[in-house]
């Protein structure tokens, strides 16, 4: 008998080696290699063996350009993140922590599409048809155009899809799917890659818009090889704490739209409800008369949004001060602490600093720098910041406050929500038309900004 050849594949990054290794040389993860049987290589086809049905290279000028045919999901916040709607034949990967709402929003999406007389197939490899039916009843979901299938064998799924010919398909989750052509267990690198490849072929060849649910690892990334994210058209991530009321959906990759948009939802007994004005909710519980709290204005794609940043500064008694933050980059906070100490003379090196963005939202835009600096300074000096003030601006290493984009949109959002003062970069003042109801303070450095809020 011919000897069976095996290989070892890293379950974290997909690195292959003929021998077992304790540590992966590609991603440095330990005990991540799994033994699999080498699949027999097929003979590479030639042009003559395939015949006239092969795809051939054509000049790009000969291809007629057309706009994507988009279909609204019935959920405005989801349409915003997708770039305007669902594209026919697209493949979308949805990731997030367990219990954060992935299956819930996809069931709501299925209901909306089924109500428009589209045929929707919901495939679950984790729940039985009875369990899915129970969840659907709890959410008030019922439609003759919504089909449920509890199956994880891709060969059986393919036959059902070809028989039913649905317009939309949802697979929950990709880690439970398997094909009989590969001997490894479901959830392994080879099974995930093959399953995604097969679903992509079905989606593209039959024009079925497909949504795939992906589990995440402890560090928050999609479980399985990074190749999975490269194969699909769109990657959506759920943000926020599963124990928090609000959920955010952000597009990490989108071949059909922007990756800067953010969808905000509120979890309720009837599923995920849209939050049309997230600014009002995120700042609704801002405390009064408490130092260390400041409102900032950030842009999420084309939408301005206000958020509250809180800072707690307290003396350290153990020699090594602690630096902890939630919702912003920790290295960015450390940089701004160094700028505040060097350029503004605030001796915070012996203080514990805790920073938090209220609502579980994550902010990465440089325009929030000034808000971080002012909240820390307010907490350090124990001085309250005016309730009606908003801080906007990027802070450089020399302590200067740099201009930001979309300044008029930010200011209009502040006026709409009743704010009366705004600290903005001086370079942006020239491009702003006079607006009623708000006083603008143009600053060039963090010292000038501190003079406005703290009086020096």
Q: Cα–Cα distance between 166 and 203 in angstroms, integer?
A: 10
Can you give 169-227 as a three-state secondary structure string? EEEECHHHCECCCCCCCCCCHHHHHHHHHHHHHHHHHHCCEEEEEECECCCCCECCCCH
Beta strands 70-71 and 86-87, pairing class: antiparallel
Per the annotation, does 45 bind a ligand?
A: no
Angle subtended by helix axes 129-138 and 102-115, to nearest 10: 80
287 annotated ligand binder: no
Q: Looking up tokens 């991603």, which residue turns up?
A: 27
Angle, nearest 10°, between helix axes 446-454 and 369-381? 50
Could you tell me if 445 and 421 are in contact, meaning their C-beta atoms sit under 8 angstroms apart? no
The span from the CA of 227 to the CA of 230, in Å, is 5
Tell which residue, 125, 447, 92, 413, has the closest CA to residue 256: 92
Q: How far apart are CA 235 and CA 254, in angstroms?
A: 7
On whether 100 is known to bind a ligand per the annotation, the reply is yes
Q: What is the Cα–Cα distance from 238 to 318, expressed in whole angstroms? A: 38
101 phi, psi to nearest 5 deg: 125, 15
Look at phi and psi of residue 259 and say left if phi exceeds 0, alpha if psi is from -120 to 50, else beta: alpha
What span, in angstroms and rounded, lies between the C-alpha atoms of 367 and 363? 10
Instruction: Determine whether the annotation assigns residue 386 to a binding site.
Output: no
Tell me if 362 sits within 8 A of 373, measured CB to CB. Answer: no
Distance, CA of 298 to CA of 292 (rounded, Å): 19
Backbone phi, psi, residue 355, to 5°: -125, 140
* 99 annotated to a ligand binding site: yes
From CA 291, how far away is CA 145, in angstroms rounded? 55
Determine if residue 101 is labeled as part of a ligand binding site.
yes
Q: Which positions make up the binding site?
A: 96-103
Q: Which positions make up the binding site for ATP?
A: 96-103
């Amino acid at each position: 008998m011919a000897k069976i050849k095996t290989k070892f594949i890293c379950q974290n990054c997909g690195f292959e080696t003929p021998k077992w290794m304790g540590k992966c040389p590609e991603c440095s993860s330990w005990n991540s290699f799994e033994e699999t049987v080498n699949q027999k290589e097929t003979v590479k086809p030639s042009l003559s063996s395939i015949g006239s049905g092969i795809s051939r290279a054509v000049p790009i000028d000969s291809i007629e350009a057309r706009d994507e045919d988009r279909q609204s999901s019935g959920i405005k916040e989801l349409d915003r993140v997708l770039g305007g709607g669902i594209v026919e034949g697209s493949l979308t990967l949805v990731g997030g922590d367990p219990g954060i709402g992935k299956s819930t929003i996809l069931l709501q999406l299925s209901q909306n599409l089924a109500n428009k007389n589209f045929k929707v197939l919901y495939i679950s490899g984790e729940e039985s048809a009875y369990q899915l039916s129970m969840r659907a009843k709890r959410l008030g979901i019922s439609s003759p155009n919504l089909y449920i299938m509890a199956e994880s064998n891709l060969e059986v799924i393919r036959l059902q899809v070809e028989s039913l010919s649905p317009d939309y398909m949802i697979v929950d989750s990709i880690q439970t799917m398997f094909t009989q052509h590969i001997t490894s267990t479901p959830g392994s690198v080879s099974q995930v890659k093959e399953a995604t490849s097969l679903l992509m072929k079905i989606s593209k060849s039959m024009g079925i818009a497909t949504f795939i649910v992906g589990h995440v690892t402890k560090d928050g990334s999609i479980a399985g090889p990074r190749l999975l994210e490269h194969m699909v058209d769109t990657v959506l991530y759920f943000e926020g704490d599963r124990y928090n009321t609000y959920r955010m959906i952000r597009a990490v990759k989108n071949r059909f739209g922007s990756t800067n948009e953010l969808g905000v939802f509120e979890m309720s007994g009837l599923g995920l409800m849209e939050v049309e004005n997230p600014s009002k909710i995120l700042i609704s519980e801002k405390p009064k008369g408490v130092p260390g709290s400041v409102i900032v204005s950030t842009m999420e794609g084309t939408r301005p949004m206000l958020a509250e940043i809180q800072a707690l500064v307290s003396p350290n008694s153990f020699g090594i001060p602690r630096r902890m933050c939630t919702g912003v980059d920790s290295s960015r906070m450390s940089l701004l602490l160094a700028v505040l100490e060097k350029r503004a003379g605030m001796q915070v090196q012996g203080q514990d600093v805790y920073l938090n963005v209220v609502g579980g939202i994550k902010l990465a835009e440089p325009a929030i720098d000034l808000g971080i600096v002012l909240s820390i300074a307010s907490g350090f000096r124990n001085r309250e910041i005016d309730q009606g003030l908003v801080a906007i601006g990027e802070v450089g290493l020399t302590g200067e406050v740099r201009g930001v984009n979309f300044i008029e949109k930010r200011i209009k959002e502040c006026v709409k929500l009743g704010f009366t003062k705004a600290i903005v970069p001086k370079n942006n003042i020239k491009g702003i038309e006079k607006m009623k109801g708000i006083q603008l303070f143009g600053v060039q450095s963090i010292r000038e900004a501190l003079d406005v809020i703290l009086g020096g």
